[in-house]
Structure 1
Amino acid sequence: MKRRELAVLLAVFVAVASASAGAGLARLALARYLRYDLGTSVLVASSLTSWFMVFRAVSSLVTGVIVDAWPSASRLFLPLPLALIALIVYTESLVTDPFTALVLNGLWGLLGGMVWPLAQTTTSLLARSWSNTAMSIYFAMGFLGVTLGQALYGFLPFSNAGVLRVSVLFFLVAAGFMVVAASYAPAAIRSGRERRRGKKLRETVMGETVMLLLVVAFVAGFASGLLREFLYIYLGEVYGLSRRGLASVLAVAGVASFAAGLGIGPLADRVGVSRALVLILLTGAVGGVLLASPELLAAFTGIVLMNMATRGSLPLTRNAVLLGASASLVALSNTLNNAGQVISPIIAGYLYEHTACETTPLIHLYCKGSPYLLSSALMILVVIIYAVLRRKRS
């Protein structure tokens, strides 16, 4: 790899870490701002994820198609959305109407869908033969950033609105580093287009590995949607965690599951992508069952395992090399993942507010934590269907 290409990758990694720290800080503060400062329901607070992801799902797909057709557009789509996100997050700290906050969160998702699938495509295409490892580093940096942001939330001496304003700085730093990446992104996109010349997109999508990657992208997205705003409310109200306690649990769980995102690329290189994806799904399924437990220690372990699964899936399901060197397919993977994150918080918020819990552990297991059990069932279903199809083909 040339020195310039390595510098571009490093710039992307720093931008991802900084923007993720801002997101980890802002999303936690925004969820609690709506729930406790503005007095919204759990369904409204958890739907922050849905508003964010539905807009991101659309913009991801549209941006991927545009960039495949006009690679030079990537010069604009990498840095500008991050600067606009900073403005949106600052504005969210000033609003007192929950609906306005939700709309602004949707715009944040729209802008995120422009920048992140493109950053992932650029990273994997630049890395070429070691794309799995590069994508593992990419998402590990993002995971570290989110963990840092969540940890900072427990210690910053500001209100939720004040924390939102602090998070703006992280997005501005990320925008600065993405200017560097934008200078080389068009060349990377063009090289991917040359690499897949003569191969139809439909043929790529119908490949066994690509189909599994896309299905796992959706299922992992469903689980990931339960690890955002809904989880922040769930942990605070079901287990009685304070602001600092909540931030500490999230940060420690993040550090504990960090190795999954970093190690999944080399693991996939060794055992194969399909086997790595099956392992990811089984890990997430166990995590969902534990997270539904009435015991905090079990729930903590569940967070770690579900984080390992959702974060571990990302380097593979967003790897442009595995997806036929296509920005459009990376965007489709993002869109399916985002669709899962749109659906699960709405289901979770509804179930949370329309179930009454008894004090016995068994009843509790199938009460407030039922969304996590649903996620586990979905993961196991995918593993079973995949195993049956493999057996029939052999």
Structure 2
Amino acid sequence: MTKVLVVEGDPQVSTALARTLGDDGHDVEITDDLRSVLERLDAGQADWDVVVLDAASLKMAGAGRLDSLLVGSSSAMRRMRSALERLAGQDVSILIEGERGSGKELVARALHDRGPRRAKRFVALHCGAIPAALIDSELFGHVKGAFTGATGDRPGVFVEADGGTLFLDEIGDLPLVVQARLLRVLQESEVRPVGGGSERKVDARVIAATDVDLTTAVEQGKFREDLFYRLNVVVLQVPPLRDRLDDLPLLAAHFLKKHGGEKAPSLSPDALEAMSSYAWPGNVRELENAMEHASALHHSDVIGHESLPATITRGSAPPTHSDGSANGHPQPLTEAKRQAGAAFEKRYLVSTMERAKGSVSEAARLAVLDRTNFRRLLQRHGLDAMTFKAQ
């Protein structure tokens, strides 16, 4: 029996929802203590199989928070959410560091959505995508006739984000001359459009992000030291996907549902194994693209290894022999140990589930783990509890 927790926002809606779930044979509990639910999920202490939020409680949780909360439950993401909670209400400059595709903009949006400026705009500018000749206009705006093609006034992102949050992605790509003008705006809270004769006061929280080491860029003279210290009040590190592989099954399921709808396919054990052995250089963005690719090519309710992009199947680890070699070739010790450990963990889970006759609660008790973490291990290895109940 599936244990379902309904988080109440609108009592009438949540009561009707709980009644329907109960009629379908689920074990249903209702609570209106959203904060406690979020804290238990963050700490990995939840004992429900599914958490359901009605429209009102979803609004209370905040879409950005809920998305990251449900999709990421690894220790790395729990630490990230804890930092977000502490920083959201503080109007300090934040520098987000992380590889491309790791979700830096999502972190910035979460900070905005949870902070006191959430009623105002969140404006994002990807500095590396703007030609050097146009970056001043994008940042600070321009007046009509300021340059060829300036057929009207343009406010610029600082004015657009006035009262809200301005997210400057790939800040390390800004030319040095623009860095100097950006520093002045941050210091004076005033912006002058290109071709304009007067300044305008602006009040925007600036969150910057980079995938390069700005400390090294400062040492090489590619980034202004004074601007670096202005932006570098608090640093948030977004972990790459390879460092949070425990989240892979949940993330994959999230993207499959996003692109496949309510009847989205699931992943076969061999597909999940290939994905778990892949390095994911493009991080979460690459994973979403891979799930969209697989959704388009699959022919059944289960996505097999063959439906994954070739880059993943080529980049996943080949079968490993007991001596740590792969296809007859020795592997690095660390990789051989990782694969051996993963194989042992899967064998242990299978054996324990067989002893528990498919009961996740009993298997977790035998393994001396809480049920949530045990279920997460089953998902990581593509194991379905129902297959053991049939044995």
Shorter-chain TM band: under 0.3
* TM-score, scaled to structure 2: 0.20
Return the structure number with greater strand share.
Answer: 2
* TM-score, scaled to structure 1: 0.20
Higher relative contact order (CA 8 A, sep 6+): 1
